[in-house]
Structure 1
Amino acid sequence: MSIHEDLLPRALFVENTASSAVGDLLFRAAGQHQDSGLLYATTGQFVRYPELRDEALRVLGGLREIGVRPGQVVVLLPEQGEDFIPALWACFLGGFIACAPAPITDSLNERVARLKQLDELLDRPFFVTDDLALTSRAAESGLLVAGIEQARLLGATITPHEVRPYRPDPSEVALTMLTSGSTGVAKAVQLTHANLLAALAAKIDALTLTAEDVMLNWVSFDHVAATIETHILPLAAGAVQVHVPPSHVLADPLEFPRLIGRHGVTITFTPNFLLGLVNAELDRLTEPLDADLSAVRYVISGGEANPVSTGVGFLDRLAPYGLHSRALWPAFGMTETCAGSLYNQEFPDADAGAGTGDPHRRRGRHGRR
């Protein structure tokens, strides 16, 4: 019997039992998929789900020592997955409302000013950072702030099974995501445990996702697709997930297909602009790309418009490397829908002629909820 089994209802350790809180997913992954987990590809560190569970519980213990309480918003500023992900699950397990803002890369004064704006927007949240200078200046400005390492040190002496998770009502808010503000002032979208669990169940069904899948994420965690679709979702299915920072792919777009081939990725997500960058880089190649993409089932693309020509060009250029002709799924979703809610499973056939002015273009079923 797991030493953590006494912390949650026994039913959570039975396959296919419905969960009532997002934190339950981590306990189930740790109990049922002990050899699966997260690979941080740039460092080679592989964290199994039981290890993530224990680290999240220790961070939770540390945050409680600092004074964070259930229902309080915790703004997670670390950008590296190794720091962000354990803190995210500490929030879910502690009944804190996690919030991941866009990376703040300006001067120290401008970063503190941005935190003050978030402090007002989010009604006095607690900030968790990985930046000592920012932690000090934010504290001097009267903000509630602590470093992730401080939380880790406070929780280091805590035995994980002694940390009792908070049991939320499904209607309680689990995650606050900030919109881009592209249609006006940025808004804080509140997603409940019930919202997230319902969306995850639908996504698992739509993608026929299993523990045998491998998902790749290269997008920053302020994007709803990164946090939900390529992190919480594969964990919910017990699948392996591979994470690299955005800079790793943006510096060399062909790292995207290389990473897919290197790690046997079956499902990934990317905004359309990267498809265009990959197309351009492939056209410049003087020798074949070292990548086997035959394991790929779906490349989900959303977050912006998906021109048919870009998607078709991506499929055509990577077909010699094993990418099948129906692998690209343009998707639609919003922060309010927990990322993707419609997937165009018939691309590109259903979109033949789109954007060309052809009134006789072939029509088909464009999405599945």
Structure 2
Amino acid sequence: MFTNQFHTLVDVIRERSNTTDHGIRFIESDKNETFISYRQLFDEAQGFLGYLQHIGIQPKQEIVFQIQENKSFVVAFWACLLGGMVPVPVSIGEDDDHKLKVWRIWNILNNPFLIASEKVLDKIKKYAAEHDLQDFHQQLNEKSDIIQDRIYDHPASLYEPDADELAFIQFSSGSTGDPKGVMLTHHNLIHNTCAIRNALSIDLKDSFLSWMPLTHDMGLIACHL
């Protein structure tokens, strides 16, 4: 039986950063794969956190994700956790319903900031401009940024969360009404992943292959975490 040795997800990534021979392989196509060790993930997340702090993002601020690239998503996710910011992963879609969902979630949050892939951000801004959402369009101009596939190397200040602090918010699909956010604490997520590990008898020799999107709880919690 695996017992919990961590209190927060920050404890987890800090401990895993000692590992250079295990990590994550991102399969972009049949001829394109990228491997990042847990050490590299920790370093890149710190670099991106430094950038977020440089542009004024504060602890406990909600960060809406509209990130297409899986590696960039994972780096940004851990950067937010290391800085005490609250990731809000939201699925990406081409139709107007998905863009409407982003607007609805934006209005629910207290002080949101949007991190997005460049093409996705352009489409959300265009949607806002064409659907009489001037306030949303103006806020996006002031409170959004494009995530790029590069190494960020700004110095970072790490945040030490308590176990019962909010780690991230998982929103429902919103297909039957306004999307509803589930508040997930570090304590919730540590115990959930430990339960999954025990149920499946996972050890260090095992690997996971996941096709689930990281905006889905099965992709992010059950597989990645």
2:133 is matched with which residue?
none
CA separation in 2, counterparts of 1:222 and 1:76?
9
CA separation in 2, counterparts of 1:182 and 1:141?
26
1:96 is matched with which residue?
85
CA separation in 1, counterparts of 2:41 and 2:20?
10
1:45 is matched with which residue?
34
CA pair 51-106 structure 1, distance change in 2 beyond 3 A: same
CA pair 38-98 structure 1, distance change in 2 beyond 3 A: same
1:218 and 2:211 matched: yes
1:120 and 2:101 matched: no
1:49 maps to amino acid: Y
Q: Report the alpha carbon displacement of residue 47 of structure 1 after superposing the two structures with TM.
A: 0.6
2:183 is matched with which residue?
190
TM-score, L = length of structure 2:
0.83
CA separation in 2, counterparts of 1:23 and 1:168?
8
1:193 maps to amino acid: H
Matches within 5 A, 1:249-288: none
2:8 maps to amino acid: A
- Residue 44 of structure 2, aligned match among 36, 51, 55: 55
- Does the aligned pair in 2 maintain the 1:79–1:220 contact within 8 Å? no
2:145 is matched with which residue?
146
1:205 maps to amino acid: N
Q: Report the alpha carbon displacement of residue 131 of structure 1 after superposing the two structures with TM.
A: 1.5
Q: Report the alpha carbon displacement of residue 96 of structure 1 after superposing the two structures with TM.
A: 0.7
SS at match of 2:111: coil
- Does the aligned pair in 2 maintain the 1:38–1:46 contact within 8 Å? yes
- Does the aligned pair in 2 maintain the 1:79–1:221 contact within 8 Å? no
TM-score, L = length of structure 1:
0.52
Q: Report the alpha carbon displacement of residue 200 of structure 1 after superposing the two structures with TM.
A: 1.4
SS at match of 1:44: strand
CA separation in 2, counterparts of 1:17 and 1:194?
10
Q: Report the alpha carbon displacement of residue 106 of structure 1 after superposing the two structures with TM.
A: 2.9
> Bigger radius of gyration, 1 or 2?
1
- Residue 106 of structure 1, aligned match among 78, 95, 110: 95
1:35 and 2:5 matched: no
1:18 and 2:15 matched: no
SS at match of 1:190: strand
CA pair 205-111 structure 1, distance change in 2 beyond 3 A: closer
**Percent of matched pairs sharing the same residue:** 29
CA separation in 1, counterparts of 2:46 and 2:98?
29
CA pair 186-116 structure 1, distance change in 2 beyond 3 A: closer
CA separation in 2, counterparts of 1:192 and 1:102?
21
Q: Report the alpha carbon displacement of residue 55 of structure 1 after superposing the two structures with TM.
A: 0.5
Deviates more, 1:57-66 or 1:34-43: 34-43
CA separation in 2, counterparts of 1:133 and 1:196?
29
CA pair 212-146 structure 1, distance change in 2 beyond 3 A: same
1:69 is matched with which residue?
58
- Does the aligned pair in 1 maintain the 2:4–2:191 contact within 8 Å? no
SS at match of 2:208: strand
Unaligned runs of 5+ in 1: 1-15, 233-369
Q: Report the alpha carbon displacement of residue 46 of structure 1 after superposing the two structures with TM.
A: 0.7
1:148 maps to amino acid: I
Unaligned runs of 5+ in 2: 129-135
SS at match of 1:18: coil
